[in-house]
Amino acid sequence: MQDLAYLQDLVVILGLGIVVAAIFHKFKLPSIAGLIVVGLIVGPHSLGLINNVHQVDVLAEIGVALLLFGIGLELSLEKLRRLWKLILTGGLIQVGLSIVTAFVISRLLGLPPNTAIFVGFLVALSSTAIVLRGLQQRSEVDTPHGRLILGILVFQDFAVVPMMLLIPFLSGQGGFTQGVFGAMLSSLAIVVGVLFTAYLIVPYLLGFIAKTRQRHLFILAIFVICSGTAWLITISGATLAIGAFLAGLVVAGTEYRHQALADLISFREVFASLFFVSIGMLLVPAVLLENLWSILILLVAILLGKSLIVFVTAFIIRMPLRVCLLSAVALAQIGEFSLVLTFAAKGSGLIGEPLESNLLTAAVLSMFLTPFALAFGPRLAAGAGKIRILNRLLNVAPAEDAIDRIHTIKDHVIIGGYGFAGLELARVLDDCNIPNAIVDINIANVHTATQKGARAFFGDITSYEVLMQMGATRAKELIIVINDPSAAERAVRIARSLAPDLYIIVRTHYLLDIEPLLAAGANEVIAAEQESAVEVASRILKRRQIDSEQIYRQCTLIRSHTEDE
């Protein structure tokens, strides 16, 4: 029966996970938090239903690898290239400030320099798995704050490699100049070599497999590419998860990315759930109760300190206030790779008790709180436009100023968001002499609109006060063209409660967003995914000289099909 230990543990974990996650869902609590609670319940320090934590950790590591492989599939190298400024500037500032701040505080508390630096390493890292999973569930990976968060997380994950290599030096077990820099160069060479080879081989391999039309072979090939590439990259000193992420980027550059993602989802969800359970297993109730106040003080210091550092980082690189706040809330925790660093430093004398156990407990608690923080973030950011001192610092007109500038107009159009769609809409309305007012939380967009002579104001479209000041009760239409579905839904609900007769149109990216937005009170929802299908079909039919009536009928049919879905 010992051979069935893995199966027994899986049944216990997943069975209890279903029950607890369902209960959390019923009370509108994050399911990730429920899975962490399951880990606490079944772990060796509580009920002891799972005693062999190591075998769960192995499966959990696979789960994190699959999770990041999926993130890589959704990104592609091309998208990552577009994020390089956020990765380098945002990541470098955040990690650098975190290490320096933690070092200074640790030294003031009497810790030796090498321990203070190592504590800085631990505090600088956030939880890639939990944050990205939360953003995925909320469809926020491709929002402005999602891209900044992703950029910082990518930098953090790559920073783990030099941090691991510096552990022997910090503990006085190795030389620095030759050993560390040599290891870094060899690590970089291995990563570049593996990625280049995979980039050349993977498309042909997947093409060959796809021609067999055997789905099981395709799934096996995806697993081999994911695990094989990840394993080869770990030779450089990087973690398995980073290797899997890079493997996902390689596959994302092929035409098979969508099928790979579809085949991966079920496996990813199961194994990723094991990771969240394994985090809960690290909690030791006895340690928590014994050092309760020390751990709570440490936890609060970490959450507030990291939030402030991330906020300052986003502010320095001129991100909108909403992005600053949401990113600060999302990245406030200590991450799973900090735990990896802690385990790697065991026996080196870098960090001793009780600091090690207190940090470990505070880290797990911070990860447990992250799903709640992600859910609370939009509410915190909703009042961003009301902070007058920041409006003055940013040199933009706050929404309150709209009262003086648009109080004489009515039946106007309120445009929420001034990206490309908002810019073109404002131009069209101006050309047709239709009064309009723009509100955006992106400082650069407000400056651009103001320079063009538009009525543009800095404010959060999800704020009741901002909508009131923009004259929502006198307006004829509200057009929301922001890249944040959760914020758009909140804005619709507030606008509908404020002005029942206001005609609300929302632009979104995906079909899945249509139903929630209509339920919130939108009159029309235009999904880019839907309209691109209409446009492509229309152009093909025009090219084939199909009559306009038939083209209109087919386009209407596409819209009706997508509405039914």
Measured CA to CA, the distance from residue 56 to residue 337 in angstroms comes to 17
**Domain boundaries, given as residue ranges, for the chain:** 54-368, 388-522
User: For the segment 305-333, what is each residue's pLDDT rounded down to a tens digit?
Assistant: 999 999 999 888 877 777 888 899 999 98
Question: Most confidently modeled of 12-21, 76-85, 134-143, 236-245?
Answer: 12-21
Best CATH choice for the domain 54-368 from the list 1.20.140.10, 3.40.50.300, 1.20.1530.20, 3.40.920.10: 1.20.1530.20
State if pTM tops 0.85. Answer: no
pLDDT for 403: 47
**Six token digits for residue 513:** 């967003």
Mean pLDDT of the chain: 79
pLDDT tens digits, 64-74:
777 778 777 76
Give the CA distances from residue 503 to residues 91, 108, 172, 408, 527, in Å, rounded to whole numbers and listed in that order: 41, 58, 68, 20, 17
Which tokens belong to 348? 């080196």
Confidence of residue 110 (pLDDT cuts 50, 70, 90): confident
CB neighbours (10 Å) of residue 47?
12
Does CATH number 3.40.50.1100 belong to domain 388-522?
A: no
For residue 338, is pLDDT > 80?
Answer: yes
Q: Measuring CA to CA, how many Å separate 388 from each of 39, 172, 296?
A: 45, 51, 33
CA angle, 472 then 477 then 483, to 5°: 90
Burial classification of residue 228, based on how many CB atoms lie within 10 Å of its CB (0-12 exposed, 13-18 middle, 19 or more buried): middle
